[in-house]
Chain A
């Protein structure tokens, strides 16, 4: 089997056999969002106003929670060494790893978001925009997160360091995505924000695998 396809299959198999890594971020996403109506107000008007921010912050933090697992496991067992000296492109294999991370973390969040939107009284149109922003934004979270994960690989208990490295890079995505949902609630045009999210995704796609490959190379030396 081709290395890229076998990497994808391997990542999915390992995650399915270790469901806690898959379920924990998703549970975090649901629990965090469900705490807001209890702590702020159960009123529809208030909740629908703050819903875009809440859902996006929860999505961002749950992705952040799962980033540690991208390379940590393969660093410990020596697979990253084998990958680094193989004649295949490390950057492309990293891109596949980011993609599988998105399938296992970002995609479930996208699929669960309509339910969370309804829970926070978002209207139908806003839920569609929410799903669209998550569909474009969460792959960027996985790709940018891969850079952070490759920088901290080999460092024990580096969760806080990872958050410090990655959160500033997530801020533009958070701003454009939650602004798109708020604007759509107010009936304004959202093309600008969506285009910016696409630009960020394209940049992440182009740069993140190469930066991560270089960071891994340094960490394996």
Chain B
């Protein structure tokens, strides 16, 4: 039974029609890779799915909750292009703040997530002193802590080394094996068993 439904979704930016009348359904445990050339609207689609942008037409629902409802918002974890961290705060301070914004598992310690992402020695380091890949890992720690059912990941593998990519892929697989849904964009070929959404 489909749980995530996109109906007749269209998006236009200025005079440029990015996509028109997209219909797509995803069920529990589906990993969806959004594919398309540059400028085809992959990021715009994820932003619409997250509720950040309004579509020009169409609607999105998850278990019958529409995308503008509180229930839907609680089920969303969106990690975009922006680092979502402040360089003036330490790794742990940034992660704690992201946790307070998102729906996370309170039984899990932030340090546990940082350890998994290889940042346990950097917990009190200012993010200003981290490399691009390490900054990316700070925000990706949310994948371990989040309780949201739908993950929307925009280019999650950017700036990561091969071990990092493997780790994120295993986290996505674990999330979806436990009944979650994941939409991600990437130009890389993934080792995951994905369903494709081509724009």
Cβ contact of B83, chosen from A18, A77, A84, A221, cutoff 8 A = A77
Q: Is A191 an interface residue (CB 8 A)?
A: no
| A84 to B84 alpha-carbon distance, docked (Å) | 12
Decide if the interface of chain B is mainly helix, strand, loop or mixed: loop
Instruction: Determine whether the beta carbon of A86 is less than 8 Å from that of B102.
Output: yes
User: How many interface contacts (CB-CB < 8 Å) are there between A and B?
Assistant: 73
Cβ contact of B84, chosen from A2, A3, A81, A220, cutoff 8 A:
A81
B1 cross-chain contacts in A, Cβ below 8 A: none
Assess whether A85 is in contact with B78, with CB atoms less than 8 Å apart.
Answer: yes
Q: Is the CB of A77 within 8 A of B101?
A: no
Closest Cβ of chain A to B193, distance in Å, is: 28
CB distance from A208 to the nearest CB of B (A): 22
A13-B88, A73-B86 known; A87+B74 contact, CB < 8 A: yes
For window 49-105 of B, CB contacts with A under 8 Å fall at 50-54, 70, 73-74, 76, 78, 80-89, 93, 96-98, 100-103
* Nearest-Cβ distance from residue B68 to partner chain A, whole angstroms: 11
A4 to chain B, nearest CB (A): 9
- Known contacts A1-B96, A73-B86; A81 and B101 CB within 8 A of each other: no
Among A7, A81, A87, the residue within 8 A (CB) of B70 is A87
Known: A220-B52, A221-B53. A77 touches B84 (CB 8 A): yes
B104 CB, min distance to chain A CBs, angstroms:
11
Number of interface residues of B (CB under 8 A): 28
Whether B89 lies near A6 (C-beta < 8 A) is no
In the complex the two chains form, what is the Cα distance from A73 to B78 in whole Å?
A: 20
Residues of B in contact with A (beta carbons under 8 Å apart)? 50-54, 70, 73-74, 76, 78, 80-89, 93, 96-98, 100-103
Binding site for B on A (CB under 8 A): 1-3, 6-7, 10, 13-14, 17-18, 73-74, 76-79, 81-88, 220-221
28 A/B residue pairs, CB under 8 Å, sorted by A: A2-B100, A6-B96, A7-B97, A13-B88, A13-B89, A13-B93, A78-B80, A78-B82, A78-B83, A78-B84, A79-B84, A79-B85, A79-B101, A81-B52, A81-B78, A82-B78, A82-B84, A82-B98, A82-B101, A83-B101, A84-B51, A85-B51, A85-B73, A85-B76, A86-B73, A86-B102, A87-B73, A220-B53
